Amino acid sequence: MIWRVFRFFLFQLAGALVGYFALTLAQAEHRVIVGILVASMAWVLIDLRRGQKLRSWLREGDTSRPPVIPGYWGEMADRVRRLVRIRDRKLIESEQRLQEFLSAIQASPNGVVLLDAEGRIEWCNQTAADHFGFDPQRDLMQQVSNLVRDPQFAAYQAKGDYAHDVVIPGPASSNSRPVRLSVHLHPYGEGRSLMMSRDVTALEQAETMRRDFVANVSHEIRTPLTVLGGFVETMQNLPMDGPERQRYLALMSQQAQRMQTLVNDLLTLSRLEGSPLPRLDEWVDVRALMDTCAQEGRELSMLMTQVGHDITVQIDTDCRIAGSQMELHSAMANLVNNAIRYTPNGGTVTMQWVRHADGSGEFSVTDDGPGIAPEHLPRLTERFYRVDRSRSRETGGTGLGLAIVKHVVQRHGAQLLITSKPGQGARFAITFPASRVQRVGAHASRRDAQAVTA
C-alpha cells in the first residue's frame, strides 16, 4: 500500500513537471496545478480501467485465465487466483472424500437410504435398491412411503419410535422363496432420517431350523423314552412269565438302541461341522470300503427281514480316495442302509464304483424300491426330513443319515446327485473330484499320481 501511495505521488510530480515545462500558461504555479490535475485524472482513469478488468474477470468466473494487470489490482488478481486455486483444490479433495464415502456405503452389505425431512429419498445405495426394488435415479425425491407399501413399515414410520427395527417381507418374496428385510430408521440433522435395511432371510431360516431341530430331537427321544417308561412300569406292576418278560426286554432294548443311534448320529454331525477338512495325503481303498459297507448292509438286511436283500458290488477300476476313512465309511454306509430300509424284502441293492475319463470317481447306490416323488428330492438332505415318517421309524431310521452324507460330500469337495421316480427305485451318487481319486495296482500310471499331487 505504501508503494502504491509513493507511485501516486511520483505520478503527481511527473504531471507537475510536465505542466510546468510543456504548458504555455503565464504563471508557473498554474501550469503546475493543471499538470497535477491532469496527472490525477489519468491516474484515476488507469486505475479504474485496471479495476474494471479485475471486476470483469471475477464476473466471468473463468479462474483458469486471470487477466494481466500490473500494479495493485494485479496483485489483488494474483491473490484471488491463489485463493480460488486453494478453494478448488479443497473442493476436489472434498469431492474425492465424498465419493470414497459413497463408494464405501455402496460396498456395504446393508441397504442405506437417505431421507429428507419430508420422507423423500435423497440418495440410496445399490443394496437398498435391490432390497426394495428402487431405481436409484428415477426414484430420487420420491416419498419412501409410496415405494415401500408394507403396512408394518407404514405403522412403524408413523409411530416415530425408532428404538428398534421392523421386519417386513421383501418385494420379491414368495411362498416358495421368502425374503425378509430388517428395516431401521435413524433420525439425524434437522428432520432427516437414515434408513438401513438388512436381509435377515438366512437368519430367520436358521432360527426356524434351530427350533425345528430342537423340536425334532425332543420328539425323537421322547417317543422311545415313553415306550421304555411304559414297559418298565408294566414289568414293575404286573407278574410275567419268562417268554413275555424276554419279549418286553427285547422291545426295551430296541428302543434304547434307537436312542443310541440317534445320539451317535447327532455326535457325528457335530464332529463333521466342527473338525478340520479331510487331508489330501490320507488315502482310503475304495474296494475295501465298499466290501465293508456291503457286509454291514447284509447284516442289517438279515436283522430286518428273514428273506434279506440282494446286495451286489461293482467296481470297474481299483482306486483310492484322499480323505477321512471314518467319514467316507459313514457316508457310504448311510446310503446303503437307506436303500435297504426302503427296499422291499428280497429287493436288489447295487453298489457301484466308476472312474470317469477326466479322472473323477463316482460311488453310487441303486435300489429297486418304491422310488421318491419329485417334490421330496430337494429336501432329502435336511435333518429329520422323511418321505414316509412311519416307515422310517419302523425300520430304525433317525432322519439324519442323508444330512451326514451331505456334510461328508461337501467336506471332500464332492457332489451328491439323487435321481428317482415313483415305482422305479432310487439312485444316490457321490462324484469325487480327480484331485482326490487315484488308481491303484500294478498298472497305475504316473500321470494319475502327478494329477493327484497337483
What domains sit in the chain, N to C, each tagged with a CATH number?
Answer: 2-90 (no CATH), 108-199 (3.30.450.20), 206-274 (1.10.287.130), 283-453 (3.30.565.10)
pLDDT single digits (tens) 185-220: 999 988 899 999 999 988 887 787 778 777 777 777
pLDDT single digits (tens) 259-276: 887 888 888 888 887 788
The Cα-based distances of 296 to 5, 203, 328 in angstroms read 113, 40, 14
Residue 139 in grid coordinates: 426414484
Q: CA torsion 337→342→347→351, rounded to 10°?
A: -40
Interatomic CA distance for residues 363 and 432, integer angstroms: 8
Name the most confidently modeled range: 253-257, 309-313, 344-348, 351-355. Answer: 351-355
Please state the length of the chain.
454
Q: CA torsion 19→25→31→34, rounded to 10°?
A: -90
Where does 342-432 have alpha helices with state H?
389-394, 401-411
Residues 6+ apart with CB under 8 A from 78: 66
HSE, CB side, 13 Å, CA atoms: give it for residue 162: 14
Neighbours of 417 (CB within 10 A): 12
φ, ψ of residue 22 to 5 degrees: the values are -95, -30
pLDDT single digits (tens) 19-68: 666 665 556 666 667 777 777 777 777 777 777 777 777 777 666 676 77
pLDDT single digits (tens) 119-166: 999 999 999 999 999 998 899 999 999 999 899 999 999 888 899 999
Interatomic CA distance for residues 200 and 109, integer angstroms: 12
Residues 6+ apart with CB under 8 A from 34: 19, 23, 25
pLDDT score at 396: 53
| Mean pLDDT of all residues belonging to the chain | 83
pLDDT score at 248: 82
pLDDT score at 24: 58
Q: How confident is the model at residue 289 (pLDDT cuts 50, 70, 90)?
A: very high
- How many angstroms separate the most distant Cα atoms in the chain? 163
The Cα-based distances of 124 to 19, 128, 138, 195, 366 in angstroms read 75, 6, 11, 9, 53
C-alpha 259: how far from its chain's center?
Answer: 37
Residue 454 has pLDDT above 60, yes or no: no
